[in-house]
C-alpha cells in the first residue's frame, strides 16, 4: 500500500506543469482525495494557494500559470 501512495505522489509531481495552480475539485476528480491532498501538504509536497487551490512546493506562480487550469491544461496532453 505504501508503494502505491509513493507512486501516486510521483505521478502527481510528474504530470503537474511547473508554475501552475491545481484546484481541489480537479484534483479530486483525478482521484486525489481531500485527505490525500492534506497529507501531501503536511509532507511538504504541495502548498495551499488560496482557498481550494494548490501549487507544487517551491513553485512560483505568475498570472499565466494561475489561468492555466481554467483553460483545461492540468493533466491534459
Average pLDDT of every residue of the chain: 83
CATH code for the domain of 37: 1.10.10
Highest average pLDDT, of 20-24, 41-45, 68-72, comes from 41-45
Q: What are the phi and psi torsion angles at 30 (to 5°)?
A: -90, 15
Tell me if 43 is assigned to some domain.
Answer: yes
29 located within any domain: yes
Q: Is 77 inside a domain boundary?
A: no
| pTM, rounded to two decimals | 0.78
pLDDT bin (cut points 50, 70, 90) of residue 50 is confident
Domain count, the chain: 1
Cell representation of residue 48: 495551499
CA distance 15 to 73: 11
State the Cα–Cα distance between residues 45 and 57, nearest whole angstrom. Answer: 5
CA–CA dist 50, 54 (Å, integer):
8
Q: Is residue 56 part of a domain?
A: yes
Q: How many residues does the chain have?
A: 77
- Using a pLDDT cut of 90, give the percent of the chain over it: 45
pLDDT band at residue 73 using 50, 70 and 90 as cut-offs: low
60 within a domain of the structure (yes/no):
yes
Q: Has residue 17 been placed in a domain?
A: yes
Amino acid at each position: 500500500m505504501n508503494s502505491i501512495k509513493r507512486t501516486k505522489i510521483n505521478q502527481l509531481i510528474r504530470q503537474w506543469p511547473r508554475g501552475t495552480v491545481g484546484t481541489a475539485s480537479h484534483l479530486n476528480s483525478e482521484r486525489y482525495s481531500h485527505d490525500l491532498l492534506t497529507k501531501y501538504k503536511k509532507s511538504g509536497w504541495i502548498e495551499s494557494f488560496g482557498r481550494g487551490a494548490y501549487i507544487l512546493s517551491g513553485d512560483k506562480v505568475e498570472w499565466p500559470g494561475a489561468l492555466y487550469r481554467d483553460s483545461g491544461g492540468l493533466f491534459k496532453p
